[in-house]
Amino acid sequence: MIIGILKETTKNEFRVSANVETVKKLIKLNHQVIIEKDSGLNSSITDEEYINAGAKVKNSSKEIFDESNLILKVNPLSEKELDTIKNNTICISFFQIKDQINNINLYLNKNLTLLSMSHIPRTTLAQKMDALSSQSNIAGYKAVIIGSNHIQTYMPLLMTAAGTIQPAKVLILGAGVAGLSAIATAKRLGAQVFAFDVRAVVKEQVESLGAKFIEVETDTDEGTGEGGYAKEVSEDYKKKQGELLEQEITKMDLVITTALIPERPAPILITKKMVESMKHGSTIMDLAASNGGNCEFTKADEIINHNGVIIDGYCNLPSTMAFHASQLYAKNIYNLIEHIYQEETLNFEEEITQGSTLIHNGKIMNDLMKKMTNKDS
C-alpha cells in the first residue's frame, strides 16, 4: 500500500501520525510512505529525517490524497479533507462518533473505510495499539505539571529555618489511565494525594501508588461498565458522591478531573457550590473539557477564574508534549496496521479489526454509529 501522512490542521494540534521509527517499520512491511511537507516539524521531526528513513515528502495534502491508499491522521478528516480525498481510501485516526455525526455521510458517499483509534478494544492483545491510553497517560502527567504552576503553594513538604511548609493536597477524580498517571506524578512531586472513582475495583491501584482512596459507601460496584470503563451511576449514588466531594474539596489545593464516559457528555462532578467552597488560589484541571467538562464552570480551551479558583479547560494536553505523544501514537497506529493487514483483506471475525472498523467501503459496521445515524447499512 501507499501510506500517506497528513499535516494536522486542527487548532492546537502539534502531533503527527508517524515518526522516523515507524516510517522505517512500515517500509520494511513493503509499504510505501509519503508525507506532507513539514508534517513533523511541530513534533521536532524534520522532512530530512523522514527522507533519510525512506519516505517521500510531498508539497501538498492534495498530492497525499491523490496517491495514497491509506491515510494516517491524529484527528478525523475535516470536511474540506473529505471533499478532497479520493474514493475507496482507507483512513485511520481518532474518531468520536458523537462529534462527527455531520461528516459521516461524506465517508459513506466516497466508499471510504474508517478505522478508529478511539475504538480499539480493551483487551490484552490490543494494549500495544491502545492510543487512548498512551495519550491519556501524557494528559494525566501534564495536568499535574500545569496545575502545580497555577497554584500558589509548594507541592512537597519543606522544612526550612523559617518554618515547615506543608505539602499541597491534590485530589484526582477518576482513576483511569489519566488519573493514575496524575496520581503518580503528584506523588513524585511530593504532594499529599487523594483519589476518587465510582469503580471500587480501582482502590487497590490507587493505594499502590501511595494515594488515599476516598469512596462512597455502597454495597455494589455499580460504576464499573463494559471493558472496565466507568458507567452512569444511580441518582442515589450521585447524591452520596456529591455529599462526599463537598466535604473533601474544601481542603484541596489542586483538583484534577478525568471522568469520561465513551460517546457521552462528561458527567458533572464539581458543582458551582463546590467551586465556591474551595480555597482562594486553588485550581481545577478539567481533562474532560472537550466533552463538556466535569466542572460546571469549565469552558473548552479557556482558563476561568471564579472567585479566586482557577478552572483550566485546555482540551489537548498530549499535544503540548508533541514529541513523545507522536512517538507513542505512531507506535500504536503502526501496531494496528501490522496486526490487521497481515492479509490482503480485513478479517471481521477478528476482534480488533471488528472493534476498530467503523465504516468499510462506505458501509457502517459499528452498531452505535448505526443507532446514532439512524442507518441500517
Per-residue pLDDT 10s for the chain (377 aa) are: 999 999 999 999 999 999 999 999 999 999 999 999 999 999 999 999 999 999 999 999 999 999 999 999 999 999 999 999 999 999 999 999 999 999 999 999 999 999 999 999 999 999 999 999 999 999 999 999 999 999 999 999 999 999 999 999 999 999 999 999 999 999 999 999 999 998 888 999 999 999 999 988 776 666 555 555 565 667 787 888 888 999 999 999 999 999 988 888 999 999 999 999 999 999 999 999 999 999 999 999 999 999 999 999 999 999 999 999 999 999 999 999 999 887 667 788 889 999 999 999 999 999 999 999 987 65
Q: Which residue has the cell 474540506?
A: 80
State which H helix or E strand residue 50 sits in.
helix 47-53
Instruction: Considering the candidates 43, 133, 135, 356, report the single residue annotated as catalytic.
Output: 133
CATH of domain 137-320: 3.40.50.720
CATH 3.40.50.720 region(s) of the chain? Answer: 2-129+322-373, 137-320
CATH class of 2-129+322-373: alpha beta
Distance from C-alpha of 267 to C-alpha of 291, rounded to nearest angstrom: 9
Give the pTM.
0.93
State which H helix or E strand residue 329 sits in.
helix 322-340
Query: Cα angle at 21 between 18 and 24, to 5 degrees?
Result: 95
Instruction: Considering the candidates 32, 96, 118, 127, report the single residue annotated as catalytic.
Output: 127
Amino acid (1-letter code) at residue 43: S
Asked if 327 is an active-site residue, the reply is no
Asked if 354 is an active-site residue, the reply is no
Instruction: Give pLDDT, residue 221.
Output: 62
Distance from C-alpha of 198 to C-alpha of 335, rounded to nearest angstrom: 32
Instruction: Considering the candidates 32, 78, 229, 354, report the single residue annotated as catalytic.
Output: 229
Asked if 130 is an active-site residue, the reply is yes
C-alpha cell at 335: 501496531
Distance from C-alpha of 74 to C-alpha of 13, rounded to nearest angstrom: 9
Asked if 236 is an active-site residue, the reply is no
